[in-house]
A and B are shown apart, each in its own frame.
Chain A
Amino acid sequence: MRTDDSLLRDPTAEAAGLARAPVAAPADLRAGTVALLDIGKMRGDEFVDRLAALLAARGFRLKRWKKPTNTRTAPLPILQEIAAEAQAVIIALSDCGSCTSCSTHDLNDLDQRGVPGVNVLTEEFQDAFARQCGSLGFEGRAVFVPHPILNRTTAEIHAIAERYLEAILAALGSAEARRAA
């Protein structure tokens, strides 16, 4: 039998979904720093490298952080630093279950600190992302890229970054990307 505390009742007017909407994306992504949070999964750094180069070339101010392991949520100091220094965050690249769960917690945590973000995951983990968001009660933003990642060449991973850059920026609310879309 479930414990009593595991079933709650909705205190709202139930006019909207149960999940919490993410904080609004900044009006101008170039007005502040965009955090790139590498979750520490193998090969993910190659994706983030290319993403960083592309964003820098477009004039975005970037700062990178890297988790010590993809199998845990981000250490508190990293979350605090991102909240203090960045106005938006791109979290990449999840291609496994623990990556997905932990990175989605990071997305939720940063959102509650006021930092809007997008989680980049592979298509195989769309359901897992939805489930994790559901259990967190959070409408997280995500961009899904092709699966798998681990057995690709660096050139192929870079090509994926190039192909999904606009979608990532659009998810973060970039006016320029929305226009392009």
Chain B
Amino acid sequence: MPLDIPCPTLPDDGLVVFLKAECPTCQLVAPLLPALGATVVVQDAPAAFAGGWDDTALALSFAADIEVVPTLIRRVGGREVARTYGWDREEWRRLSGDAALGEALPVFRPGCGSKSREPNVHEHLVARFSQPGIGSRQVAVGEWDDPIEACFDRGWSDGLPVVPPTDARILRMLAGTPLSPQTVVGRMPPDLAPLTVEKVAINAVMAGCKPDYMPVLLAAIEAALEPVFTLHGIVCTTCFSAPIIIVNGPIARSIGMNSGINALGQGNRANATIGRALNLIIRNVGGGRPGELDRSTIGGPGKYTFCFAENEDDPRWQPLAQARGIAPGRSAVTLFQGDGIQGFVDWKSRTPEELSKSLSMSLLAVGHPKLCEFFNAILVLSPEHHAIFADAGWDRARIEASLRDNLRRPGTELVAGAQGVGEGMAPSRAGDMVDKFWPEGLLVVRAGGAAGLYSAICCGWSGGRFREESQPVTKEIIA
């Protein structure tokens, strides 16, 4: 159906035909046009057809919602009463009233796609010739100004160039979710400003996301805004932390996330931009800008982006999302309040017992070796390290239990002042055996390339000491 857009420049009565020179079917019908008396609207090269109207801007094609060329339209009294696509001799004869039209031509030839329907074009046309339905303030950039610099000038960037959020790009991004642009997904700290799907899309554009990342980003936002995630504290803290996003399930593969070589590093668009979009939203919508309400003493690179997918290619490993209650085959995000990484290198352990002890030595250092039941952590097991456990028949539960046992320490070593170090736990813990982590406080995930006896530790933030108040959050992704 034609869009409800006025099309005043077309004649009120008569035939109109939409063509493009590069279409063979358009060339086929061209000899018929002079006798038809049709208005000829050309999408690419007006001079290629006698009397062709210039519609290289595609305004008329957009207004008439042309999907195929040639399209023949009959208009009566300013309204369209009939149309046909391609070359269909009987239809052209019916619309034109010329019973002998095109006798020398074949009965039927399909048309070509309209230029107004080529990939990425439609959103530009909506932005130019229609009401795009975007409510955010419009910001005009000077004719000679660079829009990327304009984004820097306005303080919208995390320090790296952002993609200018134009209407066409925003419309494309919004197509990545069925949610209405006006849907409020929550209030973003620290300003607790309403966050609409439209603002999510604008910041996703700026971060460099593709539209099909939107379900992951929206799930990450939903998780981040769960009160128990304490995003407000994460953003404003003097600690290092930012949201770390771990993606599980089929969507990770379908949007091309990296869970293999360099999974925690650079180079993958989805990994890089989903995490970046969340941090840009915190900055731009929430007002969490460094030096203002983001008071991180030292900060960390994770404040740009820290997002990766779990490597689920070994059926012996239970993925994190399933361990946290998500049904197999479903996709999920887990958000963790952390920073890092702290590299873990062990080239020599050959048994699971050895490796568990070895890992525990490094995990004890999370936050501070004398602070236990205080910081949460992520342990990213590389496939080679995981294989040492898996080949011995150790599953997730056994690995976690062994680490917990190896990470239990006598309180006498941990209390403030012990070992000549002021930092430490309350004196009342001196008689206890103390776990390094809360039972649910160590998230073990599997990621990285097949080769390399290297694992990684991501330290949680200091708010993790309040076990009930600050916890990682997992949300199913509804695509």
Judge whether A11 and B206 touch: CB under 8 Å. yes
Bound complex: CA A1 to CA B127 (Å): 12
Report the number of A-B residue pairs with Cβ-Cβ less than 8 Å.
97
Judge whether B128 and A6 touch: CB under 8 Å. no
Tell which of B152, B164, B168, B285 touches A12, judged by Cβ atoms closer than 8 Å: B285
Judge whether B137 and A10 touch: CB under 8 Å. yes
User: Which residues from B are CB-within-8-Å of A137?
Assistant: 139, 150, 153-155
Determine whether B193 belongs to the interface, using a CB cutoff of 8 Å to chain A.
Answer: yes
Given contacts A4-B167, A8-B141, contact A20 B202 (CB under 8 A): no
User: Which residues from B are CB-within-8-Å of A136?
Assistant: 153
Bound complex: CA A7 to CA B168 (Å): 10
User: Which residues from B are CB-within-8-Å of A2?
Assistant: 143
**What string of 1s and 0s marks CB contacts (under 8 Å) between B100-130 and chain A?**
0000000000000000000000001001100
Bound complex: CA A175 to CA B147 (Å): 37
Judge whether B285 and A9 touch: CB under 8 Å. no
Judge whether B150 and A12 touch: CB under 8 Å. no
User: Which residues from B are CB-within-8-Å of A1?
Assistant: 57, 128
Judge whether A6 and B140 touch: CB under 8 Å. yes
Determine whether B468 belongs to the interface, using a CB cutoff of 8 Å to chain A.
Answer: no
Task: For residue A5, give the distance in angstroms from its CB to the closest CB of chain B.
Answer: 5
Bound complex: CA A137 to CA B151 (Å): 9
Judge whether A11 and B193 touch: CB under 8 Å. no
Given contacts A6-B140, A18-B139, contact A11 B150 (CB under 8 A): no
Determine whether B199 belongs to the interface, using a CB cutoff of 8 Å to chain A.
Answer: yes
Tell which of A9, A18, A21 touches B170, judged by Cβ atoms closer than 8 Å: A9
Determine whether A144 belongs to the interface, using a CB cutoff of 8 Å to chain B.
Answer: no
User: Which residues from A are CB-within-8-Å of B314?
Assistant: none
Which of A6, A12, A112, A138 is packed against the most chain B CB atoms within 10 Å? A12
Give chain A interface residues in 1-38, CB to chain B under 8 Å: 1-2, 4-15, 18-21
User: Which residues from B are CB-within-8-Å of A11?
Assistant: 136, 156, 165, 199, 202-203, 206, 280, 284-285
CB-CB nearest in chain A for B202: A11
Given contacts A12-B284, A12-B285, contact A7 B141 (CB under 8 A): yes
Given contacts A8-B147, A11-B280, contact A20 B139 (CB under 8 A): no
CB-CB nearest in chain A for B206: A11
**What string of 1s and 0s marks CB contacts (under 8 Å) between B164-176 and chain A?**
1111101000000
CB-CB nearest in chain A for B281: A11
Determine whether A135 belongs to the interface, using a CB cutoff of 8 Å to chain B.
Answer: yes
Tell which of A5, A13, A15, A20 touches B154, judged by Cβ atoms closer than 8 Å: A20
Chain B interfacial positions (CB closer than 8 Å to A): 57, 124, 127-128, 134, 136-143, 145, 147, 150-156, 164-168, 170, 188, 191, 193-195, 199, 202-203, 206, 280, 284-287
Q: Which 6 A-B pairs have the closest CB atoms?
A: A13-B193, A10-B137, A137-B154, A20-B155, A9-B136, A11-B284
Chain A interfacial positions (CB closer than 8 Å to B): 1-2, 4-15, 18-21, 108, 112, 135-138
A-B contact pairs, 21 of them (CB 8 A): A1-B128, A4-B166, A5-B166, A6-B140, A7-B166, A8-B150, A9-B139, A9-B166, A9-B167, A10-B202, A11-B202, A11-B206, A11-B280, A13-B194, A13-B195, A18-B137, A18-B139, A18-B154, A137-B153, A137-B154, A137-B155
